[in-house]
Chain A
Amino acid sequence: MKLDVKSLRTFSRLAHTGAERAAGSLSTMTGIETYVDVTKVELSSREAVATRFEEEDLVSVKIGFEGGLEGTTVLAFPRDGAADLVETLMPGAGADPEGDLAVSSLKEVGNIMIGGFVDGWADYLETTIDISTPTYVDVDGHEPLTDVDHGTEDQVLVFRNQLDSANDAANFYLYMVPTAPSLDTIVSASEGDDPVPLETFTSFSSMIAEGAEQASEDISMMTAIPTEVDVSRLSFVPVEGVPMAVEDDPRTGVVLEFEGTPSGYIAILFDEESAESVAAALLPGSDGEAGAEMHQSAIQEIGNIITSGFLDGWADTLDTTIEISTPTYVDDLGPAIIDPLVTDLAQSQEFAFLIDSTIRTENDEFTCDIYALPNEQELRQALEQLAPA
């Protein structure tokens, strides 16, 4: 199977339009204004998807679809959000979120929203798509997205829509995982050029994962606190959606530019507590008494180390040189930090490849988020280096 940027754009627009229809259906049903925050086309391993469901403690409604397009959709809610939504629809039912009444309400939400979601795809492909009866899936012991036929591929292409409501009552995700033959159908319909085999994206994704592993090892060595890579993802996002992929809370860290093929931007961000912990680990004995300047230089130093760890492997794999600028220290709201980076790219591209990785310690001493935004055209050139001969 092959993918090209034009197909990815088509995927992204279809998924976004579908999600808006789904959000509209929910607004009508509940009276709560619902928005689509971000639509991402993600290449992810089955395992990573399952892990996310477990960690975020998501309960979901799974609905299969078949006909012109086949696969699975999952509407996933944080457990509390599901209970709140059920309560809105059917006062009293939210008190027993596992009860029949609550479960059947959620299934009904799924039915209506997913119906709206797949309609747009059916229109575009000029076909009919039928949806199956909803199944309620609790996260415990289930892997809701992993039973889709992708042949032998461990990597799945996931359409992940983050929805939010005006009163912040509901924040949830709508996933769609088409089967491999169905992906081919969509790719053919978009008539793109310069297709890249899916394996190339998979190789790129592995390269990112290795970079994150290296960064994690380096950060562990520097702070003497064992860390592990929690998430490592490649997604394709409309440029204006990128800042909203970052939580709207204060973040401390560094921003750097990298130059080469590809060039782009990287942001290494810590929440405030994590930044304190990292600085303390690097400045032992300071007991938090170190001045702001020391704190800042410690964060800059770790930003440098993480960036090198993260990007060095790219240069080797892509057979190129990637130069890194001096890190700029940042302390601001997460989306406001990412905004100027993506705005700069937006001058020449409508969509961005967003690479995001999270490194965390076992005991929650700190969490570090890495966001990399390569220039789209240069990344396409770089991908050619990875294409199987």
Chain B
Amino acid sequence: MKVYSSDPSTESGGRVKVGIADYAVATGDARVVTSGLGSCVGVALYDPDAGIVGLAHAMLPEYDGSGDEAKYVDTVVPALVDEMRAKGADSTRMVAKLAGGSEMFEFTDDRGSIGRRNVEAARTELAALGIEIEREDVGGDHGRSLELHADTGALQVRSANQGETTL
């Protein structure tokens, strides 16, 4: 179940919100935003020739056989690529940017840092699809909010205490 909408949104202008366990594709001068990334990872894709961007906000690294595919890195990344291709993007031209996957707390949980595992899963998945990771801002112990610009593929990363960077 996606939090924001049943179908991945596609917008050609304005502001498109991506919820947690959600993704969206946009074109034109639209901006795709998502907030509250802690251990979650944000995967931004851009096909400069087609002027199409996509942004996914995934919670966990691997699909466990049930639930919404948008929640997991290894299922949402191919779904996002498919959605972008359906709009005219070509995966051989796509570049990726990653943000999020922080390790904010040390829990007694022995399954390892989810933040780190999310980032690793994203790298693995993108490598399998032959998509190069151009820039990334991952890890650390702080949260992030993202804004992806459809016209330039620029990914603005904001945090409460670490200021803002553009990838």
Interface set of A (CB-CB < 8 Å, partner B): 13, 16-17, 20, 23, 33, 35-38, 164, 166-167, 238-241, 243-244, 246, 248, 250, 255, 257, 259, 325, 328, 330-341, 343-344, 346-347, 350
Contact = CB atoms under 8 A, between A and B. Distances in A.
Contacts of B5: 20, 23, 35-36
B14 A20 contact: no
Interface of B: 1-6, 9, 11, 14-17, 19-22, 35-40, 59-60, 66-68, 71, 102, 104-109, 111, 114-115, 142-145, 159-161
Contacts of B11: 33
A35 B143 contact: no
Given A20-B5, A244-B19, A332 B114 contact: no
A33 B30 CA distance: 13
A33 B9 contact: yes
B4 A343 contact: no
Contact of A255 (B19, B22, B37, B105): B105
Contacts of B39: 339-340, 343-344
3 nearest A-B pairs in the assembled complex, by CB-CB distance? A336-B143, A335-B36, A339-B38
Contact of B104 (A259, A325, A340): A340
Contacts of B59: 239-240, 343, 346
A1 B64 CA distance: 34
30 contacts: A16-B1, A33-B16, A36-B4, A36-B5, A166-B14, A167-B14, A241-B20, A243-B20, A244-B19, A248-B36, A250-B160, A257-B108, A330-B104, A332-B38, A332-B160, A333-B35, A333-B36, A333-B145, A333-B160, A335-B35, A336-B38, A336-B144, A337-B104, A339-B37, A340-B38, A343-B40, A343-B59, A344-B39, A344-B109, A344-B114
Contacts of A346: 59-60, 71
Contact of A336 (B2, B15, B22, B36): B36
Nearest to A38: B3
B17 to A, nearest CB: 6
B37 A336 contact: yes
Contacts of B160: 250, 331-333, 336
B3 A334 contact: no
Given A248-B35, A336-B143, 19 more contacts: A16-B1, A33-B9, A33-B11, A244-B3, A244-B36, A325-B108, A328-B105, A332-B161, A333-B159, A336-B102, A336-B160, A337-B104, A339-B38, A340-B39, A340-B105, A343-B59, A344-B39, A344-B114, A346-B60
